Structure 1
């Protein structure tokens, strides 16, 4: 197993080490550890496998740039998260937690440019990893523990979902269905709407003008319900805006006008 981590680290990860039974024989994982890094993270990647569940709670949009990916918005401003506390605790246990967060601090990574082999790695700086405290051991003697086997299986499933997501994004790009997004929210009493940009979304006009055979192909491939889940989720942006205002992390709102009674 290689001994070095990739040079570029994904979101939330500060470092990566390949799991090794000699170096990490006494390491444990704490499932109850919070995700304090989420407090200042407003967007998390999601896979197409999660669209149905995630769209109930978060707006699903697409990142800007050449290699656009689906992301769930947990806040509308950089450094804002309306679903996690500053300590990394989920504020509402009924909220769906994206798989990207559930696999943290583990992930499969390609450690050598000349090899396609993926190795199970973890972020040693994460609070969930401990060598002295309580937790589930990562090794049982010379063999991976049941906890590690479960982590590996979950990471493998995540990688497979990621491949399906890449295929979906390639189809959207080939069909030229993405456009620069913009959402305007005008709360009651505000003189001007609040405008949010910096993401991509499905171009509804192009989508409505697709030919019947194109729509049939999208339905057969499973793309159509994914697109609809994305479009339905956009209405949740207003809910996230309201959460920001309620938590004091949103824009300043005009004071409510006192009610008047007619004689």
Structure 2
């Protein structure tokens, strides 16, 4: 079974099976992101993320009815496969804002039993789980603690924003304003870096959008999202500079 990036396993959170489980605050969960060179980003995160990361679009999954695979936005974390320039050796995040995808770990909403049913799941292989130390997931009556309720609310909000992000990506796809891009840089040591396989806004196509579409996108906040994406692309060179400093 293939698990999402970061996760080594996914099991449904169960009030009986996991009644005595606790979460240690002294064990950083972000070490699992050490080899992530990009991570899914919800639209609501663009405002914070555009100051830190390049925000690009890629096609993920499989298309249906002859259509291309759906678009999804990513925050770029590294310029090479398996490289995360924002994770310190101690597992702490080296930026003012960490994407929600990373912060939700070790929990996630995921399908169970191979069907369409979705449940709150966790990576049971995470080292931060304990039966003796940390925040309890359930109380003596088997009810979720405030800690668990907070985590569940975070997941609910995350899933709602994911649906909103998919809808916006469909709008961009239908407008056909994205195109394949590549980034090239040469480091002081002579090493050349090439990043490709991502999509970004084509300025010419964007400028030719119908006025009615522009007005509609303005009212829906889509133009603001596009502008944050465009601004973020300057962070590619910041990544190259960050790589030199590693």
TM-score, normalised by the number of residues in structure 1: 0.83
Provide the rounded CA distance (Å) in 2 between the counterparts of 1:71 and 1:15.
23
Partner residue, 1:181 = 181
Shift of 1:212: 1.3
Report whether the alignment pairs 1:11 with 2:12. Answer: no
Matches within 5 A, 1:124-139: 124-132=124-132, 134-139=133-138
Instruction: Give the count of matched residue pairs.
Output: 236
- In structure 1, the residue corresponding to 2:34 is in which secondary structure? helix
Provide the rounded CA distance (Å) in 2 between the counterparts of 1:41 and 1:114.
28
- In structure 2, the residue corresponding to 1:147 is in which secondary structure? helix
Once the two structures are superposed, what CA deviation does each residue of 1:123-171 show, in whole Å capped at 9, x if it has no partner? 0011232224x21000002111111111100000000000001001111
Aligned residues of 2:7 and 2:32 also touching (Cα < 8 A): no
Counterpart among 87, 101, 112 of residue 84 in structure 1: 87
Aligned residues of 1:16 and 1:121 also touching (Cα < 8 A): yes
Report whether the alignment pairs 1:54 with 2:68. Answer: no
Shift of 1:26: 1.1
Shift of 1:187: 5.6
Partner residue, 2:243 = 244
Structure with more of its chain in strand, by fraction: 2
Counterpart among 24, 31, 34 of residue 39 in structure 1: 34
Once the two structures are superposed, what CA deviation does each residue of 1:155-206 show, in whole Å capped at 9, x if it has no partner? 000000000010011111111122111123356796x964321211111110
1:138–1:87: structure 2 CA closer, same or farther, 3 Å change rule?
same
- In structure 1, the residue corresponding to 2:56 is in which secondary structure? strand
Aligned residues of 2:187 and 2:244 also touching (Cα < 8 A): no
Once the two structures are superposed, what CA deviation does each residue of 1:48-95 show, in whole Å capped at 9, x if it has no partner? 010011001000001244132111011111111111024422235xx2
- In structure 2, the residue corresponding to 1:52 is in which secondary structure? helix
Provide the rounded CA distance (Å) in 2 between the counterparts of 1:32 and 1:163.
33
Partner residue, 1:143 = 143
Partner residue, 1:260 = none
Structure 1: gaps of 5 or more residues? 1-6, 248-263
Aligned residues of 1:39 and 1:87 also touching (Cα < 8 A): no
Structure of larger gyration radius: 1
Moved more, 105-114 or 117-126: 105-114
Partner residue, 1:201 = 200
Aligned residues of 1:64 and 1:198 also touching (Cα < 8 A): no
1:175–1:31: structure 2 CA closer, same or farther, 3 Å change rule?
farther
TM-score, normalised by the number of residues in structure 2: 0.89
Provide the rounded CA distance (Å) in 2 between the counterparts of 1:186 and 1:82.
17
Provide the rounded CA distance (Å) in 1 between the counterparts of 2:172 and 2:181.
15
Structure 2: gaps of 5 or more residues? 61-68
Provide the rounded CA distance (Å) in 2 between the counterparts of 1:38 and 1:12.
6
Moved more, 29-38 or 96-105: 29-38
Moved more, 36-45 or 80-89: 80-89
Partner residue, 1:258 = none
